[in-house]
Amino acid sequence: MATNKKDVTLYQKVRENKEIRAFLRKGNENLGVMGFTDHSQAHCTLVAEHAAEILRKFDYPEHDIELVRIAGFMHDIGNAVNRTHHAEYGAILANELLKGMKLPLEDRITVVSAIGHHDESTGGAMDPISAALIIADKTDVRRNRVREKEQASFDIHDRVNFAVTEANLKINAKKSTVALNLQIDEHICTMYEYFEIFLGRMVMCRRAAEMLGAKFKLTANGSKVL
């Protein structure tokens, strides 16, 4: 129990750390200038909690759950450096920041590896921590991730997020399934546009679910896609 209490305290310290928050804030500002959707602390907090819930449902130990919270909250700090290879930059930054916070070496390596492998262009699930992070990050599709702007100026990334009127991630440990159920307004974005952007991410989720011994299922407007 003492270890669990220490881990929870560390996650709280990570969330309150001024340097980490500054990197996340600058990264989100950079992406805003580039026209990307929201990657703020709100997104990172949601990813941290969803990743933790995934591992909890599959009965992973509390220590792993706290490590995935830390990875989830910090996973986008690399955007402060550059969007390209932001996962790798984020891993390097996370290593230095967490070393300063006295996170034990093996735990630090686990968190750094998860952050470094969360982007679909270069990464993939390497262990349960990275698998849960990937699923939580790639399934955060919602209308309020679109920044405030005129709808006429939306690019395809804006449209596919804004078109999602409902998204539910359901974990069923007994059936060994991870299911994302979406409702998409096809007046805003066609199914073709949606999957042009998200199919690669959903395939990444399928492989991540397999790392957890589960199957990933995707349903859009009541139709099974994956």
Which DSSP string corresponds to 6-29? Answer: HHHHHHHHHHH-HHHHHHHHHHHH
DSSP 124-173: ---SHHHHHHHHHHHT---GGGS-SS-GGG--HHHHHHHTEEEEEEEEET
| pTM for this entry | 0.92
Total domains in the chain come to: 1
Instruction: Please tell me the distance from the alpha carbon of residue 50 to that of residue 59, in angstroms, as a whole number.
Output: 14
User: Range of 113's domain?
Assistant: 2-224
Taken in order 56, 61, 62, 68, the sign of the CA dihedral is negative
Both tokens assigned to 154: 């939306």
The amino acid at residue 23 is F
pLDDT at 180: 95
Residue 94: pLDDT over 70: yes
Any idea what DSSP says for residue 186?
T
- What percent of the chain shows pLDDT beyond 90? 75
Helices 41-57 and 62-74: crossing angle, nearest 10°?
Answer: 160
Instruction: Please tell me the distance from the alpha carbon of residue 116 to that of residue 139, in angstroms, as a whole number.
Output: 18
The amino acid at residue 124 is G
Mean pLDDT of the chain: 92
pLDDT at 158: 87
Kind of pairing, strands 215-220 and 177-184? parallel
Residue 2: pLDDT over 60: no
Residue listed under structure tokens 């690669």: 200
Supply angle C-alpha 94, 98, 100, rounded to 5.
125
pLDDT at 149: 75
pLDDT at 8: 52
pLDDT band at 10 (very low <50, low <70, confident <90, very high): confident
pLDDT band at 151 (very low <50, low <70, confident <90, very high): confident
pLDDT band at 176 (very low <50, low <70, confident <90, very high): very high
- CATH code of the domain containing 167: 1.10.3210.10
pLDDT band at 190 (very low <50, low <70, confident <90, very high): confident
Contact 136, 204 (CB under 8 A): no
